[in-house]
Every structure is written in structure tokens, then in C-alpha cells.
Amino acid sequence: MYHALSFLTGVVIAVMVFINGGLSEYYGIFVAAVIIHIVGVVFAFVLCAAQGKRIPPRQHQPLWIYLGGAIGVLTTVFNNFAFGKISMTSIVALGLLGQTAASLATDCLGLFGMEQHPFKRESFIGLGFSLFGIFIMMDRTVGSAACAALFSLAAGVSVVLSRTVNACLARHTGDLQGSLVNHLVGLPITIVVAALVIMRDPAAFADLSCPSVFSTQAWIYCGGILGVSTVLLCNITVPRVSAFRLTLLTFVGQLFTGILLDLCSKNTYPGTSFVGGIVVAAGMVFNLVYEHVSAVRKPNGKSY
């Protein structure tokens, strides 16, 4: 069940990115981020109110467990710094590499109070497939823009940090309340970032003062709703699925849903992304099958 929810998380993320892309075309990336967080806060608050759920008062919890939303904003900033300097395929590949490294560290060391998942022998095959898939997706732009590549790696690491910190918070507040706090923390930060960007280049945002610039397409404002759903799903799966497996399942769901959305909207997608995704998915399937067969044989006294 939790593996299916992990895959579903990737599907939801892909749809969310597609919708948020439409919003960003109208308002720019940073203003769109503010709108997304406002919608997310309102949606999560309404859900909490409807279900009678409240955020419990802070007692002895460390402050860092409230920083998941702030780390999530960093993910956007890091990706924006990399965008245009290296290819989108490389951004995705390096982001996955950063997530893989952070996930393995979280699993092996039990960081942030997460359950330890020692690296198993059979996991080397899945890891090998993942690294090979990442290598396939990267291109020459990475070598010519080392700084942008580092930002993409940092974005991947921040994804794992954000979802893990949010899951720690959810233990004390509840899954839905944790998603609300995530957006409440992220909202003022996105406002500050957007304000700084507007102050730096006011001309680029001059059209926002004109009412006609606001889109009447309601669907492009739904990204915040899916953002709440994504954090909620992660709050459920992070404590129950190893970080490495969660990363791969989410990536596979996101990649192939993204390709499907591209086909439906008649956009093109890099063939290397498809091939790399197939390789990563193959490694994931092998690991799942291997572990299932091992679990079946153990009661009979057989092992590999």
C-alpha cells in the first residue's frame, strides 16, 4: 500500500508541476510561488477546520521540525538558479542524484529520528541501475556549468530534507496539520523572495498592476491544492518507506506521468529522459521482486 502511495506521490507532483507551470507563465516563478502557498494555506486550513483538527501547541519540539516549508522554498530557488544554464534533463538527473545521496544517508544513519534501513546487498543492483539511468539523462551542459550543476544537486538534497523534516513535524501535529504548517512557514518566505526580485527588476512586473493580466483559467490556481496533497502523502509514506525506495518510486511516477502529460499536450520530451527512467524503473522492479522472493523463501529455510 505504501509503495503505491509513494508512486502516487510522483504522479501528483508531475500534475502539480504541469499546473504550476501554467501559473508561472502568467505571473513569473516567484509571484506564482506566493499564489501557490496562499492557495495551499487556505485549502489546508479549510480541511483542518472541516475535520475539527487543530495544530497542537509547541511543547518541547526543536525549532528545526518547523522548517520543512522553508527548505521547500530553497528547492525552488536552487532550481531557478540552474534553469537556463544546464538542460532540463540534466536538472532532473542531478536532482535525482542529490535525492539518492541524501536518501541513502538518511536510511543508513537514521537521520532526523527516522528508522534506520541498513544498505542491503540486493540494493546495490537498484543503486547501480539508478546511477546508470542518471548518467544517461545527463548531457554536456553539466560540464560547462559546474555552479548550476551544484545548485541542481542541492535542490535534490533539499527535497529529501524537506519531506523528512515535515514528517517529523507530522508526528506531533498530525499529517494534515503538518501540511498546513509547511505552507504557513513557506508563505512569508516566498513573499520576501518575490518582493526582492520585484525590487531588483520592477519593469518585469509592471503588468501585474493591470487587472487584465490575471488569468481566468481556474485550473492554474490548483497547484497549491496538489501541494498540500503532496506534503500529506509524504507525511504518510516517509516514516513507513525507506528514503531511497521512496525517492525512486516517486521519481518513476513523476517521470512517466510527465511524459504522458507532454504527449497529451503535444509537447516534446527528451528521449534520454525516457530511457533513463526505464533504467531506473527496471532497477526498482528488480529490487522489489528480489525482496519478495527472499521473503517467501525464508520460512522454508532457503536464502540467497
Give the burial string for 6-17 (b: 16+ CB within 10 Å, else e): bbbbbbbbbbbb
The pLDDT score that the predictor gives to residue 184 is: 93
The grid coordinates of residue 233 equal 502523502
| Residue spans of alpha helices (H) in 110-144 | 123-137, 141-144
Q: What digits encode the pLDDT tens for the residues 243-280?
A: 888 988 898 888 888 778 777 776 666 677 678 778 88
Please list the ranges in the chain whose pLDDT falls under 70.
58-59, 83-84, 87-88, 122, 139-144, 203-216, 266-270, 273, 292, 294-295, 297-304
Say whether pTM exceeds 0.85.
no
Do the Cβ atoms of 43 and 257 come closer than 8 Å? Answer: no
Cβ-proximal residues to 144 (8 Å cutoff; 6+ apart), any chain: none
Give the DSSP letter of residue 210.
S
Which pLDDT does position 183 carry in this prediction?
Answer: 94
The pLDDT of residue 28: 80
pLDDT in tens, 84-93: 677 667 777 8
Contact 193, 237 (CB under 8 A): no
Q: Where do the domains of the chain lie?
A: 2-300
For residue 38, the model assigns a pLDDT of 95
- Helix, coil or strand: residue 216: coil
User: What is the SS3 string spanning 31-66?
Assistant: HHHHHHHHHHHHHHHHHHHHCCCCCCCCCCCCHHHH
